[in-house]
Structure 1
């Protein structure tokens, strides 16, 4: 393989590892997994979330307390991602959306913005060195029209938890044989296959 191809593969690998850092950040916050969240930041990193600015330990304390008290569940979703490599430094921009169920009145709130990151590769590992979380929009959508019974069936497929009991940590992942099949009796006619 020529040196140009090797360089391209190294750049693709680095960009993939950088994207993985952002993905692990979201998973760490949503599953309230302190170890995973700590792993995405260098020890001297600073995170600026607008109303919070500080190091990774203080960020964990704040974000964990905030999501525990403000929402009963939440998800951070990342979409568009761009990354400029400059040796062992990278500048990344990742669009995010956050959805949360309010702990007080069960309303769904949505927000969106971008993570602006300076990543650094130290000892062969990419992590966040500096982050700005820029919020751009937010609001409340209309109530869901999905029947409660249907939502209950969707929740039976796995454990949703804000810790390591969540199904995403299950190894090996398995589906119980008794769950195989479609329970059409509970579905309203408009949700049934023809």
Structure 2
């Protein structure tokens, strides 16, 4: 469900403990924590996959998108698959945060309010996940990460339904998640907020009968 142009690669200097020391294009030295650099690389991977698709993705392309050297990227993610699995986990963490905000209510009429705005705000996140899900059909080694994505979002859906007074069984949880996931995909492709929001209103009306 739902939640830039490449900079010129920066020259790399030796790293020290949990700090990466590098220079920007003007030659000034800057220090970034390893976690910050990791998030930068994962964000670049998500943008690159969302824009160009999975099949053309390379670690060099992600390094260019992030504005770092290829050598620096490989020090974090030695292979393309390592990068993809980590990017999917990063996307999952972001999606859980988005879903939590969209379902942080005990009023059924407010459930998922703002879904279309969130997709419009960050379409790359949703696109990346769909790309990885489809790729896992061709590459079984991505399957465990995708199954984790689904199971985690299903758990979040169940908790959201319980907060608004719906006691969901497994079938209802899957039905609601699949409906919202499908609406998110439709909005991503068609961009018709009025149609998507009207469908969400109908979904809430159906759920009101389950309380």
Q: Between the two structures, name the one with larger relative contact order (CA 8 Å, sep ≥ 6).
A: 2
Instruction: Give the structure-1-normalised TM-score.
Output: 0.32
Instruction: Give the structure-2-normalised TM-score.
Output: 0.31
Between Structure 1 and Structure 2, the one with more helix by share is 2
